Structure 1
C-alpha cells in the first residue's frame, strides 16, 4: 500500500520563505524567536487549506493501462507536490502495451476507479472524471440513431407538368449506412409559392406530385449524421459522438453509465464534460417540432433560407431563431438530464461551455462548476520573461473570454470557477514556471479560483524516460526535470485560491451580453461560440470594447444574459440574481442592434423596482422572424415610454419608480454621475480582483507592468486594519495605511511579476507583526568566488562536477553530457559578508533557467521559480563566512533534443501519436540547446526598512 499522506499544515504551507524581521545585531536566539512568531502569524492569517484550494490536474489514463501499484506511487507523488485532486480522462494508449489496457467502464475499470478514489482520499486528494473517453461525449453505446446529427438538404428542379424521375433519397452512400431519414420536402416556385409536399413522397422515395405550371425547386431535408467519432478515444470508448440536442439520445447515453455505476458515484466528486467540439452537428430529428414550439412558426417553410448564405435580413433573422433554438435544446435536453443523473448519485457536474451553439452564460451556469480554458500564451511586458515566437499559438488567451464562466458562477451563487489551464502554453518540454505564473494570474484576475493543470499523464514505473506523454503540452509529470520544485508553484496557487474561494466575488457592475447580435449572421448554420474564434464573435463588438475599457479604468464587472435578467430582482437598489450571489450596483446595456422586447421590458422593470440602469444606446431592432412587425411596434412603444431629461455632461436621465435609467454614450461619466467609484489603484498599472468577506474585502493585486511599483494605492473602503499577504512566500504583516473619507490608502511595493494580497477589514488586527517595507537600497554585493557545481539528479547521464569562477549555461561548459542534460544541478559557494549594518538584505539570483531552490547557511530560504528570482535573506546571513547552496532545475528540452538527434524512439502512441505546437510531427532534433542552470549575476542588496501601521482621520 502507498504511504498515507495527510494535508500539509497551513503553517508549513504559508511559511516557505520567512519575512526578514531580524534587527542588525540580533542574536540567533532572538532571530529564531522572531521566525517562530512570523510562522505563527502566517498560519493564522491565511485561510484554511482544503482540497479545492490546492491546484488539481487532468490525469490522462493512456489506454486505461493503470494498476494499483503505480496508482499508489503516483498519487503519493502528486500529493507530496501539493496537488489537491485529479481528473481522470481515459484516452488512447501507448503501442506495445495493449495487454495492459482496461476497457472503459468494464468491471475491472470500475474496480480500479474505486481503488483510485479510496487511495486519493487517504492522500488528502479527491477525484473527478470525464463521463466518457477522449472528447466529446460518445462511445460504442451511441447507436446511429442517437449519434450527432446534421441537416442534409438536396435540391431538385421541376417544370410544370413534369414528374420527378429520380427518387428522393439521400445520395451519400455513407449517410445511407447510418439510417438517414427524410424529414421534409418543400417546393418553391419562381413566383414565390411554397408548398409542403412531404406527404407526397412514398416509402421508396418516389415523389407522387408534379406542378401544373411554372419552374419549381424542391428542397428535401434529411436527418443525417456527422459520423464524427470520439476524438482520442480510449479502449472501450470508441464510437460515435453523442447527439447532445436529443433528450432520448442523452438518456440512452447516461443509461450506459447507470449500468456501470448503479445508484453510486464510486466517490467521484464531479463528472466532467470537455469543451463542445461536436463539429457539424447542426440538427436533430425533432428539430422542426422543437423549433415551432419554441419560436412559434414552421421552419419547413424557410428551408431554402436556412441553408442559404445570402446576406439578406430574412436569412440573418432565421439563422438567429435557429441558433437560439439549438441553444435551448442543448440546455434542456443535455444539461438538465446530465445534472439530474449526477445529483442523484451525490456528485456534481463540471463543464466547459465554450464552443457550444448557445448562450455561453446560460450554459456555463447550468452546471455546478463552470470551467473555462486557456489555450496558448499571452504577452506580458515583464522584463526577462521568455516568450519564444516559434512556440506561440496564434490566439492569445483573453481575460474577457474567461469571464463568461466566472460571471455565470457568480450570478448563480456558485463559489467554484475552474479552468483548464496552460493548454499549449508553449512547445513541449519548453514551458517554465516563470511563464506559467503570469498566465495563471491572468486566470485568477478573471474570476477563476479552482485551477486544473492540462495536464499530467499516468505513466508506469517500468516505462523508460520520459514516460507516457499526452500529445498536447504541458507534460508536468514526475519525469519532468522541473517536478522536484513543483511544490513551490503549487503553494503559490494554493495561497491565492484560499483567498479567492473566501467570501463572495465583489463586482459592482453587470454588463448585458447582446447574444442576438452574435446570432444574427447569415453565414453558416450552427454557431459554435469558440475560444479560437473570438476575433470574429467577441473582439469587434461594443460589448467587448466597453467591458475592456471599464476593467482598465478600475471597475469590476460580471456579464449577464437575457435569461438571467428575467430571473433577477432588486433589493435596496442592488441587482440580485440568486440567493447566494453577490449584489451588483448597476446594470449596463452596451450598444447593440437586436434586443428582445421581453429583455427591454425586464430592464425597465428592474429600474422601476429600484435598480440603476445605464444604457449606452437603445436597441435598434428586435431579433428573429416571427411576428416581426408586431414585435417591432412593441419595441417602438417601449422606447417611446423612455422619456429622458438632460442631466448634463452628455447624460440623459429618466426616473422611474424607485430607480432610474441613464442614457449615456460615455458610460464612465454616467457611473461617476451616480457615484459608482472605480478602483483608482488601476492607474498605477496594477491589475486586481476583489472578494467580499464578512468584515471587509480581499484585494488580489498583480504587477504585470515592466516597472517596479512603490506607491500608495487607494482602496474603496474605510478599513481599520490592512494586512499584506505575500502569496509567493506566504509572509504577512500589518500594512502602512491611512484611512480618511471612506478611503484607505495602502503602501505597496511590487516588482514586475510579483503579486500581493491586501486584507482590508473593519476590525483591528491585534498582535500582528508589521510589514517591513524596503527603503534606500544600498550597493548590490555580488556573490563572487568559486562556485562548485554538482549535477544531482537527471539524465541521460550525470555530467562531471565543475568548478566555475564565472556562471554560465550548462550548454556552454564544453561538455556534451551537460548540453544534453535535463535535471537538477547544485551550486555551492562560500563567500564573505562584511559586518551586517543594514536592516534587510535581498538575495537576487539574476537569470535562472529555469527554477531554483535556495539554502543559506544550511537554512532553506525557499523555491524561487519566477521573475523576480528574489528573496529576503537577512535572518539567514551572518557577518563573515556564509555558504549559499542553490539547486537549479532546467527544462526537459535538451534531453529530448539529444534523444531525437540520436533517433532514440520515445514516442509511439495510437491515434494522433505526438505532435508539435502547430500539430505537425514532433521533431526536437532541429532545436538549439535551451539555456540551463544559474546564469546570475547573484547579488545581495542591503536595505533600510520602515514598518507598516494603520492610522485614521475624519
Structure 2
C-alpha cells in the first residue's frame, strides 16, 4: 500500500512567512524578521561549513618574490572572497624584480612559508604546497644519474667471421655529457638466432666477439637521459626532471626536503604533485631487472621488438608488458616513498595521475587526495551562454575522464576528490561566472567535491594593474574586475561542496577498466595516458561507450582496476573494495579483448562469494607475452567451465556459490533482470550525483538543458521527507513529495542553468518551512524609466555618470572612457509597483555582462552572477514607489584591449612570458570591445505559488 505524507501545518506557516500575500507594504522590520527566520532555518539545514568545503586556489608565486606585508594583505582578500585555502606553486618570475626573488627552500623561503601558514590560519585558511617548482618534480638536487631516463638503442651490422671495428659507445655528444651507460648488447642473426653478448664488450667499448657465420644485427641499449629541465621553474628550482621510476632517485630527491623540513611539516596540510608531464622518459637503469622480476622473463632478447614499430602481435604484447612494468615501478618507487615521507611529517599527499605511464586508477588511489584537471571548455545548450569559438581550445573536458580520480577515491575510502579547475576555460580576461558555473557543475557531477582554482597569482601592491599574471588563464585575482562579486560564486561552490563532502558516494555499479586493451598497442614505447589524448585511448573503447550509456540512463558508477578487484571482498551481496569504501551492488565487465587469468579468476570468485557480475562479453584473450599459450589455455579452460542457462531477453545466467554471473550483450537489460533500478529522473534531462548519509541521501541535480524543468521526479528510495536546498541562494524548504512502491516522488523546478539539492531523509520531517513552488505567471512588469548609472571602481579612468532611458552596453555609450573601462557600474531606478496581489515576484535582469549584485528598497537580494540572472524578490517589494539598485561588474578584456592598443607594457616575464589560448604571443589590440553592463530588459513577474499540493506517485 502506498504511503503518502503532507506537511500541512508547516505549509500554512510558510505561506505566512515566505510570501507577502496581499500585504499593504513590506516594512523593513517585516523583511528583517523574515530574513532572520530563513537564515536560522538555512543554518540548520545546510551542513556546517569547514575549510575544505570552500573552494581553494593554486597560488602562483612568481620568482617566489613574496613578502610578509603582501602575503598578509592578499590572504585577507582571499578569505573575504570565500576562498578556504591556497596551494603554493613557485614558478618563473617577473622581469626587473629579480632583487626580490627568494630561492626555493632557502632559509628565507622557509621563513616566509612559516609566516604564510600562520597568517593563513589566522584568516581561517589552510596551505598546501608543491614539492618542486613549476612541473614536473625536479631541481638542482637531480644530478644526471638521477634524471629522467630514456632508452637509446644503436644498431650495428656484422657478418660471420668479421670483427666489429667501431666501439660500442653512445654516439650523441649530449648523451656522453650526461653519462649515458651501456646496459645490454643483443645480437640477432638472419637465421633467427639471438645471443646476449653484453659481457663481450670491454670498458672501452670494444666488442670481443665474432660470429661464426651469417648476417647479424647488433642492438646496443644505453641508459640515456631525456635532458628535460623543470618547466616554469622558480629560482632555486632549476634542474633536471626526476627519474620517477627509480627508488634511489626519488630517495635522493626527497633528501633535499628532509634537510629543510626535518621531521616537521611547517603546517602544510598536503604536498602535491602536478600532472606527470615527463616526456620521453621511457627507461630507468634497473628496468631490465625490474621487468624480469615483475613479468617473469628476460626483456633483453626482445630488445629488437621493444624498439620496433612493426604492427605484429608479438610487438604489441611485449609493449603491454613493458608499459605495465613501468606503471608498477612508478607506483612502487615514487608514490610509496613519497607518501611515506609526507605521512612521517603528519601531512598528506595530493596528486594528479593523468599523463602518467600506468594504470590511472591505481595511481590516483595511491595518494590521500586524487586530483583531476579540467582543461578547456565544454558546450552547454543553456540559452544565452556565451561560447566564442576563437576563445575555445580544441579539447573538451570529459566527465568520464574526471571519474578516474573520483572512482579511485571512492574505492579506497577517501572522502576528498579535488580538481584543478578552469585551466584555459577561455581566453585571458574573457571568462565569466556564467561560463564557470556549468563547467564546475560538470566536475561535481563526476564525483569531485573539492575545487582548486587555476589559479590566483601573487602580485605585490606596488605593481601596476593588472599586476603579475600567470601565462595560462584563468586569472581570477583581486585585480580582476569580477573579483568584487567573487564571493557569490564561491558561496555557491561552498554550499555544494558541504553536501558532496558529507557521507559517502552512493554509486551502485562497478565498471571494470580493461587497461591491457589500452596498453596492447604496437606504436611507440611508453604510453602516457593523458587528458589531451582521450580520442585515442578512451573514446573508441567499449568501456567508454558502455559507461556513458549507463550514466545517461540514470545509473551511478565507479571504475575499478585489476588491482582493486584483487583487494575486493563481498559482504551481504555487495562488493567492498576497502573498509571505508561504499558498497557496490554489481560488477560490470564491458567488452574487452585482454584480461589476465588472475583477474578473471577473481571476478568469478567474487561471484561465488555472493556478488552479482554482469559480463558483456567473455574476455577473448590474455595480455602479455610470457607463457602465452599456457595462459591462453588456462583462460579457455575457465571459460569452458562456465555453465550458463538461458534466462530470456538475451541474458544467460550462471549461479555460483552465493552469487551469479550474467552474460548479456545488453547490460541495461541484465540490470533490470536483477532489479537494479536506474534513477529515472534523467529522463527529464536532469543530471545528478548522490551521497549516502546516516539519515538518508543527498541528490545534487543540475539542469544543463535549454529548457526550464517543472515536473515530478522519482527517487529510488522511500523517504519520509524531502527538503529542497537551493545552492544558488542558500534557501531551503520542505518539498512536495509522496512515496509509493519504495519510490519517492518529488516536485522540482529548475530553470536552464540552475542546480538544486534534495535531502531525502528516512526519518520524520524536520521542522522546516515549506518550499514555494512558482505556479501561474502573470504578465511581466518591465522596469522602465530613467536609470542612473554611476561607475564606482575600476579603470583606467572612471567614466562620467550617465542617465539612461534605454539600457545599453557601456561600449555603446559614445564615451571612449566607458569603452575602455573594466570595473563596476551601479544602476539605480525608481519604479511604481501596483498593489501586491501576487504571492511571489521574480526579478529577471535579462542579459548581464557579466555579473550583478542586487538591492531592492535598500535590502540586499544577493549576487546574481550567472544565467538565468533571476531572484525571488516578493518579500522586498512594496506597493507604490520602489527602488532597484544593480551593481554590475564587467570583464577585464576592454581595459586590456585599450592598454595593448596604446602600447602600454604590462607583461614582462621570464620563460614563456604571456601567451594566448593558442600559445602564441598575446595581443588584445585586435579584439572587439566586449559588451559590458546591464543590458536587460529588466522585468518583475508576479506568480501564484503552491505550497499545499500533494504529489501523487508517477
Q: State the TM-score, normalized to the length of structure 2.
A: 0.98
Q: Is the 8 A contact 1:734 1:948 kept in 2?
A: no
Structure 1 position 203 matched with structure 2 position 203: yes
What is the alpha-carbon distance in structure 2 between the residues aligned to residue 719 and residue 503 of structure 1? 17
Q: Indicate the residue corresponding to 1:538 in structure 2.
A: 538
Residue 22 of structure 1 deviates from its aligned partner by 2.6
Q: Is the 8 A contact 2:17 2:34 kept in 1?
A: no
Q: Please, what is the CA RMSD of the aligned residues?
A: 1.1
What is the alpha-carbon distance in structure 2 between the residues aligned to residue 358 and residue 750 of structure 1? 41
Residue 25 of structure 1 deviates from its aligned partner by 1.0
What is the alpha-carbon distance in structure 1 between the residues aligned to residue 766 and residue 289 of structure 2? 67
- Aligned pairs (5 A) from 1:744-783: 744-783=744-783
Residue 277 of structure 1 deviates from its aligned partner by 0.1
Residue 20 of structure 1 deviates from its aligned partner by 4.6
What is the alpha-carbon distance in structure 2 between the residues aligned to residue 540 and residue 169 of structure 1? 43
Q: Is the 8 A contact 2:746 2:951 kept in 1?
A: no
SS, match of residue 875 in structure 1? helix
Residue 31 of structure 1 deviates from its aligned partner by 4.2
Q: Indicate the residue corresponding to 1:161 in structure 2.
A: 161
SS, match of residue 777 in structure 2? coil
What is the alpha-carbon distance in structure 2 between the residues aligned to residue 35 and residue 348 of structure 1? 41
What is the alpha-carbon distance in structure 2 between the residues aligned to residue 334 and residue 741 of structure 1? 52
Q: For structure 1, which runs of at least 5 residues remain unmatched after alignment?
A: 1-17
Q: Indicate the residue corresponding to 2:841 in structure 1.
A: 841
What is the alpha-carbon distance in structure 2 between the residues aligned to residue 536 and residue 570 of structure 1? 35
Q: Indicate the residue corresponding to 2:20 in structure 1.
A: 22
Q: Is the 8 A contact 1:607 1:656 kept in 2?
A: yes
Q: Indicate the residue corresponding to 1:548 in structure 2.
A: 548
Structure 1 position 129 matched with structure 2 position 162: no
What is the alpha-carbon distance in structure 2 between the residues aligned to residue 519 and residue 317 of structure 1? 8
What is the alpha-carbon distance in structure 2 between the residues aligned to residue 564 and residue 656 of structure 1? 22
Measured against aligned partners, the alpha-carbon deviations of 1:772-814 in whole angstroms (never above 9, x if no partner) come to: 0001000100000000000100000000111100000000001
Q: Is the 8 A contact 1:733 1:948 kept in 2?
A: no
What is the alpha-carbon distance in structure 2 between the residues aligned to residue 60 and residue 789 of structure 1? 36
Residue 948 of structure 1 deviates from its aligned partner by 5.7
Q: Is the 8 A contact 1:22 1:34 kept in 2?
A: no
SS, match of residue 374 in structure 1? strand
Residue 162 of structure 1 deviates from its aligned partner by 1.0
Measured against aligned partners, the alpha-carbon deviations of 1:76-113 in whole angstroms (never above 9, x if no partner) come to: 00000000000000000000000000000000000000
What is the alpha-carbon distance in structure 1 between the residues aligned to residue 408 and residue 330 of structure 2? 17
SS, match of residue 885 in structure 2? strand
Measured against aligned partners, the alpha-carbon deviations of 1:394-435 in whole angstroms (never above 9, x if no partner) come to: 110000000000000000000000000000000000000000
SS, match of residue 206 in structure 1? coil
Q: Indicate the residue corresponding to 2:668 in structure 1.
A: 668
Q: For structure 2, which runs of at least 5 residues remain unmatched after alignment?
A: 1-15
Residue 33 of structure 1 deviates from its aligned partner by 2.6
Runs of 4+ in 1 over 4 A off after TM superposition: 948-954
Q: Is the 8 A contact 2:612 2:660 kept in 1?
A: yes
SS, match of residue 671 in structure 2? helix
What is the alpha-carbon distance in structure 1 between the residues aligned to residue 17 and residue 356 of structure 2? 48
Q: Is the 8 A contact 1:650 1:664 kept in 2?
A: yes
Measured against aligned partners, the alpha-carbon deviations of 1:510-566 in whole angstroms (never above 9, x if no partner) come to: 000000000000000000000000000000000000000000000000000000000
The 1:901–1:869 alpha-carbon spacing in structure 2 relative to 1, beyond 3 Å, is same
Measured against aligned partners, the alpha-carbon deviations of 1:196-255 in whole angstroms (never above 9, x if no partner) come to: 000111101111111111000000000000000000000000000000000000000000
What is the alpha-carbon distance in structure 2 between the residues aligned to residue 653 and residue 235 of structure 1? 64
Q: Is the 8 A contact 2:848 2:933 kept in 1?
A: yes
Q: Indicate the residue corresponding to 1:276 in structure 2.
A: 276
Q: Indicate the residue corresponding to 2:10 in structure 1.
A: none
Residue 23 of structure 1 deviates from its aligned partner by 2.3
Q: Indicate the residue corresponding to 2:4 in structure 1.
A: none
- Aligned pairs (5 A) from 1:201-350: 201-350=201-350
- Size of the aligned set, in residue pairs, is 937
Structure 1 position 819 matched with structure 2 position 819: yes
Q: Indicate the residue corresponding to 1:435 in structure 2.
A: 435
Q: Is the 8 A contact 1:158 1:217 kept in 2?
A: yes
Q: Is the 8 A contact 2:745 2:953 kept in 1?
A: no
What is the alpha-carbon distance in structure 1 between the residues aligned to residue 914 and residue 114 of structure 2? 30
SS, match of residue 551 in structure 2? helix
Residue 952 of structure 1 deviates from its aligned partner by 8.8
Q: Is the 8 A contact 2:745 2:952 kept in 1?
A: no
Residue 38 of structure 1 deviates from its aligned partner by 1.1
Q: Indicate the residue corresponding to 1:403 in structure 2.
A: 403
The 1:331–1:949 alpha-carbon spacing in structure 2 relative to 1, beyond 3 Å, is farther
Residue 21 of structure 1 deviates from its aligned partner by 3.2
Q: Is the 8 A contact 1:19 1:731 kept in 2?
A: no
Measured against aligned partners, the alpha-carbon deviations of 1:603-635 in whole angstroms (never above 9, x if no partner) come to: 000000000000000000000000000000000
What is the alpha-carbon distance in structure 2 between the residues aligned to residue 824 and residue 895 of structure 1? 13
Residue 36 of structure 1 deviates from its aligned partner by 1.6
The 1:820–1:20 alpha-carbon spacing in structure 2 relative to 1, beyond 3 Å, is farther
Q: Indicate the residue corresponding to 1:7 in structure 2.
A: none
Q: Is the 8 A contact 1:787 1:803 kept in 2?
A: yes
What is the alpha-carbon distance in structure 2 between the residues aligned to residue 805 and residue 181 of structure 1? 79
Q: Indicate the residue corresponding to 1:372 in structure 2.
A: 372
The 1:19–1:660 alpha-carbon spacing in structure 2 relative to 1, beyond 3 Å, is farther
SS, match of residue 300 in structure 2? helix
Q: Indicate the residue corresponding to 1:502 in structure 2.
A: 502
Residue 704 of structure 1 deviates from its aligned partner by 0.1
SS, match of residue 314 in structure 1? helix
Q: Is the 8 A contact 1:735 1:948 kept in 2?
A: no
What is the alpha-carbon distance in structure 2 between the residues aligned to residue 571 and residue 896 of structure 1? 60
What is the alpha-carbon distance in structure 1 between the residues aligned to residue 520 and residue 22 of structure 2? 70
What is the alpha-carbon distance in structure 2 between the residues aligned to residue 948 and residue 149 of structure 1? 70
Measured against aligned partners, the alpha-carbon deviations of 1:300-357 in whole angstroms (never above 9, x if no partner) come to: 0000000001000000000000000000000000000000000000000000000000
What is the alpha-carbon distance in structure 1 between the residues aligned to residue 545 and residue 383 of structure 2? 28
Structure 1 position 867 matched with structure 2 position 849: no
